[in-house]
A and B are shown apart, each in its own frame.
Chain A
């Protein structure tokens, strides 16, 4: 009896090990989509003498549906997250999308240097996050950014907490807002109805210098 029992046990063990290795191999493939390496660039941004809130909405909508990457800032425009399921909070996974502050930086056309209040058009495939965290935006840090009273916020102003920032797409009649934001790996970048304006952990932030 023993030899008969051993063979199935051995077969099971080998199958299990094989299946396990395939599972891990699959995970590894998912981990490294190489999106940034294969698609993104480090080209210089274009200085822009005019930039409007409508123009920045267009920039933001290009990033919509393009995923989320912690510390990221590069995406295409195919309305698909090309790096789904990246491990969270790892800036080295090189996936598609921005994080909340990187997305805001690019949509607000800010400069790499905090003392520069100019406007810069960053290509969607330019891999850039910028120097600001959500916390820094909340504090109104950087030459073009100021804190602003929440009831006065309008389209393309932002609401920021110590850990997150989203920009106002529209203000709803019920007091909530349609917010465009890079929310997280599981959610991607999209428009959602939020009540950040009534949340005491969120403050108002305005980018200065709009020409329209």
Chain B
């Protein structure tokens, strides 16, 4: 779990949003050649693909994930939490922060609900730097991915966002896009917020091509998740 580096580098997530958008613009430009963009949404370079996932090839991009506590929340995380007022979030609550090519997110759990906020390179929802937020219940018989299709990329194309529950034994969740794949590492037992460009505005839905792998790189599941905005 050295890739997670818990509680380190909090200042990175606090970068001014303008910088993120500018770098994302550059990253999107870099992706025009058919391969994956060279930079993550925050401008950083993706880490090397874990050896266990070498079979995914050169078009797989490793997203960043780290765990912070609410006690150490930066302004962005605090803005997200305020969005759910009057929710009270205990200081010890673990928050998973993710940064990928299309999106950044935070996810945390309080009681029987999972909460999260999403950021993309497109317009933000006021207040705060986030383009959206979501609440999902964990006490239901069927897991609700809380799909969102209102966030947009730097070219104002809709970005679909959803929570994916890692299957038993899964360490990596991989979401395949047309010409690249994003690799998300499972963390803190929380659902993983993933992104896609495969959005159907007319059907209020998004479709995700998802594979899950264990720490040895064995594929545990492969599915096409077509999830609709609901509730």
- The interface of chain A, by Cβ under 8 A from chain B, is 42, 70-71, 87-91, 99-102, 112-114, 128-136, 139, 141-142, 162-164, 200-201
Can you show 11 pairs from A to B with CB atoms below 8 A apart? Answer: A88-B141, A88-B142, A89-B140, A90-B142, A91-B230, A100-B231, A102-B230, A112-B202, A133-B231, A135-B134, A162-B87
Contact status B231-A134, CB under 8 Å: yes
Cα–Cα distance between A28 and B133 once the two chains are bound (Å): 35
Contact surface of B with A, Cβ cutoff 8 Å? 83-84, 86-87, 125, 132-135, 137, 140-142, 144, 146, 148-150, 201-202, 204, 227-231
User: B46 → chain A, closest Cβ, in Å?
Assistant: 30
List residues of chain A with CB within 8 A of the CB of B229: 71, 101, 129-133
In the bound complex, residues from chain A placing their C-beta under 8 Å from that of B149 are: 131
Residue of A nearest to B201 (CB): A112
- Residues of B contacting A201 in the complex (Cβ-Cβ under 8 angstroms): 86
B134 to chain A: which residues have CB within 8 Å? Answer: 133, 135
Q: A130 contacts which chain B residues (CB < 8 A)?
A: 204, 229
Residues of B within 8 A of A102 (CB): 230
The answer to whether A141 touches B204, judged by C-beta atoms less than 8 angstroms apart, is no
Check B202 against A129 for contact (C-beta < 8 Å).
no
**Is the pair A128, B141 in contact by a Cβ cutoff of 8 Å?**
no
How many Å lie between the Cα of A110 and that of B139 in the bound state?
31
| A88 to B134 Cα, complex, angstroms | 19
CB distance from B220 to the nearest CB of A (A): 23
Contacts of B137 in A (CB 8 A): 163
Instruction: For residue B20, give the distance in angstroms from its CB to the closest CB of chain A.
Output: 20
Determine the distance from Cα of A142 to Cα of B149 in the docked complex, in whole angstroms: 12
* Contact among A87, A129, A139, A162 for B204, CB-based, below 8 A: A129
| Distance, CA A130 to CA B202, complexed state (A) | 8
Which of A42, A130, A135, A142: most chain B Cβ within 10 A?
A135
A-B contacts besides A70-B231, A113-B201, 7 pairs, CB < 8 Å: A71-B231, A89-B141, A90-B142, A99-B231, A102-B230, A112-B202, A139-B133
Q: State A99–B204 Cα separation when bound (angstroms).
A: 13
| Nearest B-chain residue to A69, judged by Cβ | B230
Complex Cα spacing A89 to B84, Å = 22
* Cα(A102)–Cα(B229), bound, Å: 9
Tell me how far the C-beta of B123 lies from the nearest C-beta in chain A, rounded to whole angstroms. Answer: 9
A133, B83: Cβ atoms closer than 8 Å? no
Choice from A42, A71, A113, A135 contacting B135 with Cβ under 8 Å:
A135
Smallest CB separation, B66 vs chain A (Å): 25
Residues of A within 8 A of B135 (CB): 135, 162-163
In the complex, A201 Cα to B84 Cα: how many Å? 9
Task: Tell whether, in the assembled complex, residue B144 and residue A139 are in contact, meaning their CB atoms are under 8 Å apart.
Answer: no
With contact pairs A135-B133, A136-B132, A162-B84 given, residues A129 and B201 touching in the complex (Cβ less than 8 Å): no
| Min C-beta distance of B171 to chain A, whole Å | 27
When distances are taken between beta carbons in the complex, the residues of chain B under 8 Å from A90 are 142
CB distance from A137 to the nearest CB of B (A): 11
B204 and A89 contact, CB distance less than 8 A = no
Report the minimal beta-carbon distance from A185 to chain B, rounded to whole angstroms: 12
Q: Which residues from A are CB-within-8-Å of B125?
A: 139, 141
The interface residues of chain A lying within 8 Å CB-to-CB of B84 are 162
The CA-CA distance from A89 to B138 in the complex, in Å, is: 12
